[in-house]
Structures are given as structure tokens and as C-alpha cells.
Structure 1
Amino acid sequence: MLPRSLTHSIQMPAAFVRVEVQGKGYGLIAARNIPRGELILEESPILIHSGDNLTEASLRTALRGLSSRDSAAFWSLSNSWLGHGMSPRKGIWLTNAIPCGAPNDPDGERDNLEGIFPIASRFNSSCMPNVFPWWEACSQKLAIRAVRDIAIGEELCVSYIDVLMPHRDRAGTLRMAYNFECHCTACSFNGADLVRSNHNRGMTDRIIQRAMEVEGLAFYPCIGLMLVSNICVV
């Protein structure tokens, strides 16, 4: 066993690299095996704005306050709305903004706050994501962790939408909000596989909704098990 002083000095190699992914532009690929639960990124936003009050003028003003480095990072991000009559700055914002918060609204709930993250915005979407973003109000950073073991060479993907929706609703939401067609594994299902996927997602959603309605569930996990059993046999 290594001395404690040495274990603190050892750093794991970078978890991912940025590469071009066919049909997606740039994406992030696992540079090594990543165990479930590992924190692979913590990042502060370079720009925060209220999604409720986003206008061309307010976005232009916010961009003027960026450093030259952060401004270059913003303009390097992808824009899925090119050719749709939308300004480049607004197209980049709508393509890449991620829910977050600010010191006067730590959870971003009051003002529907969103932010631009030069690295985190590179995660492409999948309806079977292998990483999950979580806004940490205390540190004011976005934390991204692996939700399952990830093998070297796999693309790291988050989900831009609620993955518990059936395929038709997911496809429509992605088309309307991000202007792209998802071709992930789940969205490529056909026949019985598609029916099974929609059923399992709907059942999981029902379990979560029922659990949220039960008071004291955290103190009585057996109630949660009963809920799961009752729903699964329906």
C-alpha cells in the first residue's frame, strides 16, 4: 500500500478527449475506462442568463461582458439552428445552454437560469445517457458523473430531455427545442424492442411519480418497495 502522502499526489489521466463524431460535430470520448459514479468534470459557466427573459439585445449585452478567451469559447460552440432565420448568438445559446444557478438564486429556480459551459456543452445527447449533469448550488459549478461503467472509446452522452418520455414525444421535443433528430440506440429501436422501451420508461415514470406523492418515503424504504411491486405487476 502506498503511503498516504503519495496517494494524494497521484492523478488519474484525463477521463475524455474531444473528437469529431460522425453526424454530430464534436463530441467527448472516454480516454480510459471510467467507473460508475466517478466525477469526470466540474465546470463553472462563462455566461449565465435567465431563460425567461432571453432576447437578442440582452444576449448581445451579456456577450460584451465576456473576456476575449470566453468569447472565443462561446463562438466555437455548435449551432443547430443555422439556416433557420435565427441570429448566430441566439442559435448557439439555444443549442448549448444548460440549467444552472447564480449566487442570488443558487438553484436557478426563481429566474429559470441557464449557463454556457465550454466543455460540458460538448456532451452530445442520448436517450440512454452514460453520464449525468448536476448543478451544485454551493460551489456554483456543474458536476458531471458517470452513471454506469464506461469503457474506453465510448462516447460520453447526457440527455437533453426527459428520457422517460415515449419515443415519439422525445423525438418531437428534441426536434422543437434543439432542431435535430436523435439516432441513439434507444431511438433506433423497432417493433417489440420499441414497445418494450416505451413500456419500461412509462413504468419507471409512474414509480417516480407515486414515490413523490408518498410522505415519509425516505424513512420507510419498504413502502417504496411495495410501490414498485404493485406497479410492476400491472
Structure 2
Amino acid sequence: MEELRAREVALARDVDALTERVAMAFGGAPFAVMPIDGKGFGVVATRDLFIGERLLAETPLLVVPMDVSGYDGQRHGEYEGIPSALLEAAVDALPADRRCKFFELSQNSAYGVTRSPAGIAQTNGIPHTHGSKTYGAIYYTASRFNHSCDANACFRWNGSLGGAVGGAVPRWADGAGSGGQLTVHAIKRIPAGTEITFNYAGFLAPREARRRYLLESFGFECTCAKCAMSGPWSRSAVAESEARIAALGGTASLRASLQAELARQMAGEDSPAFALFEAAVARWS
């Protein structure tokens, strides 16, 4: 087991080195964080990006275990089932530089006018699994990527990459502190100057289901081109997309079968192959 782990770490380092060489060959840093009209901050490509390119590998500021029952902070003072007092203690325990970065992140007004750890966590948290448990991770850079139902990038947790992960409190450090990073890959060709986005709701959810989920889970009503039926997403184009989604038979069953097959072909948890899988799903929908 130790030998296998060492090989995984060595492979991850080789991938990182290759990614850096590719980035330099294509003109350096792939993106910049900047203000986006109506969205606060966002991430914009600084050069042309290609499908499968790794854009980011980032260690979380904070990781906390999640209760899949969801956020109910307005009534119970919780983030994903975690009492506010414990979440606040976890934030207070962060090193000063990481705590400052945490509070630089935005908070959706749906979670209160006064900024709080729970509101910031709900606005910016990205889920990932470790073993049999699900964790919410807050990132300084990855949390800046905005949503689009027609996203051009995807994220994936890679437990084989380096980087210490901060657990919420010591008794919750049951594997969450073993290291790992979130990786971001392009799933489309992204021209320089284009905003880079994630799909928070999944490509295979119908329009109304996506909008309802985004409003309930993240506190915003989606106005992307696909939801607004604007630009390339005319009413007829959206109708054709809905028909394709229905024909595919549902998100859960299709993703489960495709991901199971992909898992058999992948050496680790993260691979450009996953980005290509997301690219294929995006095209189908």
C-alpha cells in the first residue's frame, strides 16, 4: 500500500510538472480573478485555453464535514448541519493569513446582510468526498468561479496531490487532513477574455429543476444564457436540449454508469479524462 501511495504521489508530481510546462508554452497563467458585472468577482481566461487543460490545483482554506440535509441557517444557525458555534470556532482557529482570506470571500444576501462564517461557507463551499463521507471545502481561488448552466470548466477533488487540509475541529480530522487539492480543467476551448464557469447544478438536469436547485441551495436565480434563453440558447435550442436530456434517461443513472466505466480506466481520482467526460456530457445536453 505504501509503495502504491508513493507511486501515486510521484505521478501527481509528474502531472503538475507537465501542467506547468504546458502553461509556459501557451503563455503563462491561464486566468485572472477580476470584477464581473452583476456577479461580484469572477475568473476570466487570460489566454486561449484548450479542452482538458488543468487550470488550477488548490488546497482548501477550510474543510468541514457536511450533513446532506442541507443548509437551514435562517432557522437553526447551521451550515450543512454544522452548528454555527463550531463553524465559527473552526474559522477562528485558522492561521491569520487563511482567516483573512476566508473573510475576503463574498456572501450571498440570501444568507443575511451581516457576514458570518455560515453565510460565507454556504455561498462559497464546494463539496467533495473522502472515503464514505462528504465534506464542504472553501477555497480562496476556486470559490471565485461563478456558475453557468453552459459551463466551460469542471472541478474534481484529487486526494493524491500534496497540501495539508484544515479540518473544522480536531475530532473531525478523520482523514480530511490527509492532504489533497481541488483541480480545475477546461471542458471546452475557452478564448482569452471569456469568463470561466462551473455548472453547480449538473448538465443533465432540466432547466426548471436546475433553477430551483440553484435558488434553494445557493440563494440565487440563474440568469445564464441557457436559463434566460438568450444568445445561442434560443427558446428552440433550449427545447432541443431538454429533449436530449430526457432521452438520456436521467442524471443519476447515466452518470453512475459512465463514471463507473471511467473509474476503471483511471489510475487516480483526478485525470484530464474526467474533464473530457464532463465535456462529452456538456455536449450531449
TM-score, length basis structure 2: 0.65
TM-superposed CA distance for 1:118, in Å, is 0.3
AA partner of residue 127 (structure 2)? P
The change in CA–CA distance for 1:147 and 1:54 in structure 2 (over 3 A counts) is same
Query: Aligned residues: percent identity?
Result: 26
SS of alignment partner, residue 155 of structure 1: coil
SS of alignment partner, residue 133 of structure 2: coil
SS of alignment partner, residue 153 of structure 1: coil
Q: Residue 181 of structure 2 aligns with which residue?
A: 141
The change in CA–CA distance for 1:32 and 1:213 in structure 2 (over 3 A counts) is closer
SS of alignment partner, residue 210 of structure 2: helix
AA partner of residue 123 (structure 1)? F
8 Å Cα contact 1:82-1:88 kept in structure 2: no
TM-superposed CA distance for 1:191, in Å, is 3.3
Greater mean deviation of Cα atoms: 184-193 or 123-132: 184-193
Q: Residue 35 of structure 2 aligns with which residue?
A: 20
Match of 1:55 among 68, 80, 83: 83
**Which structure has the highest helix share of the two?**
2
Q: Residue 162 of structure 1 aligns with which residue?
A: 202
Match of 2:246 among 173, 195, 202: 202
Whichever of the two has the greater Rg, that structure is 1
The change in CA–CA distance for 1:66 and 1:208 in structure 2 (over 3 A counts) is closer
Match of 1:123 among 126, 145, 151: 145
* Unpaired segments ≥5 residues, structure 2: 1-19, 68-80, 162-179, 265-283
AA partner of residue 67 (structure 1)? P
TM-superposed CA distance for 1:210, in Å, is 5.5
Q: Residue 35 of structure 1 aligns with which residue?
A: 50
8 Å Cα contact 2:204-2:250 kept in structure 1: no
CA RMSD of aligned residues (A): 2.8
The change in CA–CA distance for 1:204 and 1:109 in structure 2 (over 3 A counts) is farther
TM-score, length basis structure 1: 0.79
CA distance in 2, matches of 1:78, 1:180: 13
CA distance in 2, matches of 1:10, 1:132: 18
1:200-230 Cα shifts (integer Å, max 9, x gaps)? 223335487268569x9679xxxxxxxxxxx
8 Å Cα contact 1:42-1:144 kept in structure 2: yes
1:155-174 Cα shifts (integer Å, max 9, x gaps)? 00001122211111111110
CA distance in 1, matches of 2:216, 2:227: 16
Superposition map of 1:64-103 within 5 A: 64-81=92-109, 84=112, 88-100=116-128
The answer as to 2:203 corresponding to 1:188 is no
8 Å Cα contact 2:91-2:99 kept in structure 1: yes
1:130-172 Cα shifts (integer Å, max 9, x gaps)? 0100001222110000001110010000011222111111111
Superposition map of 1:98-109 within 5 A: 98-100=126-128, 107-109=129-131
SS of alignment partner, residue 58 of structure 1: helix
The change in CA–CA distance for 1:35 and 1:75 in structure 2 (over 3 A counts) is same
